[in-house]
Amino acid sequence: MSWIVRLVFPSVCGSGKAPAGALPEPETEGKSSLTIQEIALAAHVAKEIPPDTEPGLSATYFFEPKNFTFPFGTHICVVEIDKETGETKIVRYVAVDDCGKVINPMLVDGQVHGGIVQSIGQALYEEVVYDEQGQLVTGELMDYALPKASQVPWFETDRTETPSPVNRLGVKGVGEAGTIGATPAIVNAIVDALSPYGVKHVDMPVRPEAIWKITKQAL
């Protein structure tokens, strides 16, 4: 894994794309120090740069960590299933994640919340369906089911901070923490609720129709 940090300083004209002839002459002679704007202008105009040097001012830095980062966490889901309709309702959802040192708590919370909602869609609603001719029939949001706000429970979230030893900030990833933990938590909760019927596995998405058939066949 590597990160590339590229810093580009535009010219004083704003866009950085103005031709050199349209820019003012850099005033560098006799000065013992220059502002970053003056340095960028001189580099862009390129009248006094050393031979075999490209115009412009940029810097590229490659960071190769010595090892990978490993975020971790625990997601717990409690569901209720209506055996008459097969409808699944998430009554409680608890998630505790560890992404190392947190720089922006609001951003971390948003990533976790969004990941859980995405998992609710994957576990219960979303499905790509083709007809017998290979035509996609769920290509629009009118046909492709996504969870509504009323179908999303209140999330009880918390976090621990275990700094990563492989970077100076001690940070780890969090972008997929909610998605990775939530999908199996939701499906396993459904399987557990259906265990009295001998259920050990259900395919996603776990639609009400599938659960209804399971309960009716067991009667």
Compute the half-sphere exposure of residue 77: CA atoms within 13 Å on the CB side of its CA.
27
pTM: 0.69
Q: Which of 34-38, 120-124, 210-214 holds the top average pLDDT?
A: 120-124
Q: Is the pLDDT of residue 111 over 60?
A: yes
The rounded distance, in Å, linking the Cα atoms of 126 and 196 is 27
Residue 117 CB partners (closer than 8 Å, separation 6+):
147, 152, 178
Q: Which residue reads 């969090």 in tokens?
A: 174
For the chain, give the number of residues: 219
Please indicate whether residue 169 or residue 65 has the higher confidence score (pLDDT): 169
pLDDT of residue 53: 76
**Residue 14 pLDDT > 90, yes or no?**
no
Angle at CA 59, nearest 5°, toward 53 and 65? 135
89 bridge partner residues: 80
pLDDT band with cut points at 50, 70 and 90 for residue 55: confident
